Amino acid sequence: MANQRSSFTYDVFITFFGDDTRYGFAGNLWKSLSNRGINTFVDDHSKGDEIASTLLNVINESRIAIIVFSNNYAFSSFCLQLLVYILDTFLLNHRFIFPVFYDVDPAIVRYQTGTYAEAFSKHDKKFKYDKDKVKKWRKALYQVANLSGFHFKHGRDGYEFEFIERIVEEVSSNFDLVPVHIANYTVGLESRLEEVCLLLELGSKQVLTVGIYGVGGIGKTILARAVYNKIGDQFEALCFLPNVSENSNMHGIVHLQNRLLSEMVGLKDIQSGNASRGGSGIKYRLRRKKVLLILDNVDTLEQLEILVGGLDWFGPGSRVIITSRDKHLLAFHGFERRYEVQELNHVDALELLSHRVFKQGIVDPNYTELLSRVVTYASGIPLALEVIGSNLSGKSVDQWKHTLDRFERNPPNNIQNILQISFDDLDQEEKNVFLDITCCFKGYELTDVVDILRARYGQDMKNHIEVLINKSLIHISLDGKVTPRPLIERMGKNIVYDESPSDPGRRSRLWFREDIVQILKNNKVRLLKGCSCFINIEIIHLDSSLIENEEAIEWDGEAFEEMPNLRILIIRKCHFSKAPKYLPNSLKVLEWWRYPSEELPSDFDSKKLVICKLPNMGFMSPDLTEFLQISHPDVSLILDKIGRVMLQISHGDFQTETTWRLVGLMSSVVGLSCYALSPSFNRLIGRWKPFKFFLYGVFSLAMLTTILFTKQSSLPTRHFQLKTYASFAVLMIISVYSFFYDKAVNGKPETLSILSNASFALVSLSLHKLIKFGFEIGMFSYFLGCFAIQLLTINWMLIFVAIFFGCPLFVMHSSMSSRAEVAAGIPL
């Protein structure tokens, strides 16, 4: 039966005959027990006949008694009286007595032979008038010698220190696990505890590791403590190291190594000197022990490597549990078993909040709606519920409303500080991506966010997004939308707000409608006489889709002139009185629903523009046949129109790589089939023969395979661009040739030629889109020379027609590919 630790002053009481063992065995035993953290009292007053009352009190307040019998023990009447009292007290109260027979046989003690017979011969003479006392002493010796204990004989039973270790281990095993404090009140903990225990597979002899991760304040530490209390008694040694990150920074990682070893092996004042030596010490001392090690709040790989090392550091059946905000950290160190602590559901969150606010658990009906508002705002994060609940307890309904309004604008500092730890651990690029998402792109499709960020930063930011997901700073919903928790979103917006609390025009990102309208309407260009007060603005995101009957925004159209660093401009469902007179040439993303004009500003240079979406814009796709009928067309105007339309199309809703693969595949099948059956093919290639059939089949298969299975290319180079331009041009030349040849021979193009012409045009567009997604298709450049030579044998004029048609396409494609410096990559 294990003893309850909290009800005793001392864990162990040691009694012995002084001169025999005081400076040897008894002293070493006391030192070993104390080093293990066992509170031990040593009776060092084994002289005299009477026992002091203070010593009797110590015995009463001790959980376990260790009685060391030596050759001369029985000569002390004091020791014998103490033995009788210990037996009466401990056996009556079912406490443990461990007899230790040190260099004396238990039979000598039991039957009082040898030196014990000599001692009792003296006692019989001394206490001849009190024979009952001597009789009790003899009975006590007989009783204690029959108890299970420890026997050590020099020269026979090995080293004395090993004997002492066996005693310490036995004593330690009789103590209950001292539980760590979890929380005053918990909800939803039992189900989580069961799920983690399933991952631990406690019946397995393997060394297993489990990582518990989640955002700050979600309850990782509480769950880890609950696991410790539940399973700790199944291990030989255990250690819970709280807040590893903070303690490592304050005291050093070597201090944590020393503390870990001290708790695991029961030795105080361990000094390993350095991390390398400490790691070796952990492995050497624990490699055969079944241990439970829990490291709370780990935030660097170094901490894991120094404190945990490898699985061979611990004995069979050991379990290592880590809590961290960073899922990637756990995965990188090989924690294959990972458990994400989710936010509380609405019912559990409401229960926790109600208990914190209304101590008796009786909820006032007047607060029901406000309670739900708090639960929604707190996002199911227990820390937030606790903090907000403590602030609302005892307040009236009006005070609740006022406090909640204030919290929604600015969360309490203790919540903000906990959540911001994960943000502070990010590098600068990751911080920028986080602020972009939380301020402007909540609710966007993940693929759209990837495209926008790629355009903004000129490189693929997928890895940065994955870091934010791993740190639980953002969440991807089941339908693929980016949805940061409300508290996390508010934290990000507060960080940007703090850039300039009093002047929105000096912040890097703008999303609040009133701030944006104020800046656009109150044009500070004139007021500040050319002072670039908007130079910090990089993103403007204005969405009025939820506002009914919105009035048009009156402005002079000149505000954007003072925003030279504006990269992203997204305006949705907003009415403006007039179009902008100026757009910054720094723009990389332009999305403006209901753009109030048919033309962009004439001096706007779109070279840096990567994404352009102008739904409901005034101008439509021009009719190319009308351009061909113009005797002296304005080529620059035509190219500008075509470029704008193609740019709008190319950044429309068909943004997925899979869609353009399918378009290219179907168009290729139709185009190749129709072209093979057209009269122009017979003139160009000659009549069908098996060899030509084989070559055409190989060519067709190569085209289809390329569209289907081409792998992602590296960063674009000038050589890569030339090859893609050539592949774009060659298919257009083929389709132009088919169109004009059939028209010359038959007076009008045949249906097959028209279909092949249209199909190859779609193939060209799909290839361009696949290039945009980073696919190299330069194999078609080989066929350009072949078809050019064939065209020379037919009609020189066709060459000029092809050049006239191909050059504008070339120029247009070049303008559309000004983003070629953007790193290639497929959206998530």
pLDDT tens-digit map of 390-419: 888 888 889 988 888 888 777 777 777 878
Mean pLDDT throughout 553-563? Answer: 87
Confidence (pLDDT) at 198: 94
Q: What is the CATH number of domain 5-173?
A: 3.40.50.10140
Confidence (pLDDT) at 804: 52
Q: What is the CATH number of domain 413-498?
A: 1.10.10.10
Mean pLDDT throughout 208-233? Answer: 91
DSSP 8-state code for residue 312 = G
Q: Which of 400, 380, 368, 345 has its CA nearest to residue 486? A: 380
Q: Which of 800, 777, 671, 774 has its CA nearest to residue 727? A: 777
Confidence (pLDDT) at 222: 93
pLDDT at 813 over 50: no
Is-contact 247 361, C-beta < 8 A? no
Q: Which of 345, 382, 348 has its CA nearest to residue 219? A: 382
CA R_g for the chain: 42
pLDDT tens-digit series, residues 693-728: 666 666 666 666 666 654 434 334 444 444 444 444
Confidence (pLDDT) at 94: 81
Strand order in the sheet with 319-324: 237-241, 291-295, 319-324, 208-213, 337-340
Of 48-52, 89-93, 633-637, the range with the highest mean pLDDT is: 89-93
Average pLDDT of the chain is 78
Task: Give dist(CA 631, CA 562) in Å, integer.
Answer: 43
SS3 734: helix
pLDDT tens-digit series, residues 126-175: 888 888 999 999 999 999 999 989 999 887 878 888 899 889 888 877 77
Place of tokens 């969405």: 543
pLDDT tens-digit series, residues 500-530: 988 898 999 999 988 898 888 876 544 554 5
Task: Give dist(CA 374, CA 540) in Å, integer.
Answer: 30
Number of residues written out for the chain:
828
pLDDT tens-digit series, residues 645-688: 444 444 444 455 667 777 777 877 877 777 677 666 665 555 65
5-173 and 189-340, same CATH topology: yes
Place of tokens 């600068």: 428
Confidence (pLDDT) at 339: 95
The domains of the chain are located at: 5-173, 189-340, 346-409, 413-498, 501-619, 621-645, 657-821
Q: Computed from CA positions of residues 746, 751, 753, 754, in that sequence, does the dihedral angle turn out positive or negative?
A: positive
Q: Which helix (H) or strand (E) holds 319?
A: strand 319-324
Task: Please report which confidence band the pLDDT of residue 823 belongs to, taking 50, 70 and 90 as the band edges.
Answer: very low
Confidence (pLDDT) at 541: 95
For the chain, what percentages of helix, strand and coil (3-state, to nearest 5) are there?
Answer: 55, 10, 35
Of residues 625 and 486, more confidence is placed in: 486
Distances in whole angstroms, Cα of residue 482 to Cα of each of 328, 475, 541: 19, 6, 16
pLDDT at 582 over 70: yes
- Count helices and strands (H / E) in the chain: 35, 15
Task: Please report which confidence band the pLDDT of residue 613 belongs to, taking 50, 70 and 90 as the band edges.
Answer: confident
Cross-strand bridge partners of residue 266: none
CATH topology of domain 189-340: Rossmann fold (3.40.50)
Task: Please report which confidence band the pLDDT of residue 220 belongs to, taking 50, 70 and 90 as the band edges.
Answer: very high
DSSP 770-815: HHHTTB--GGGHHHHHHHHHHHHTT-HHHHHHHHHHHHHHHHHHHH
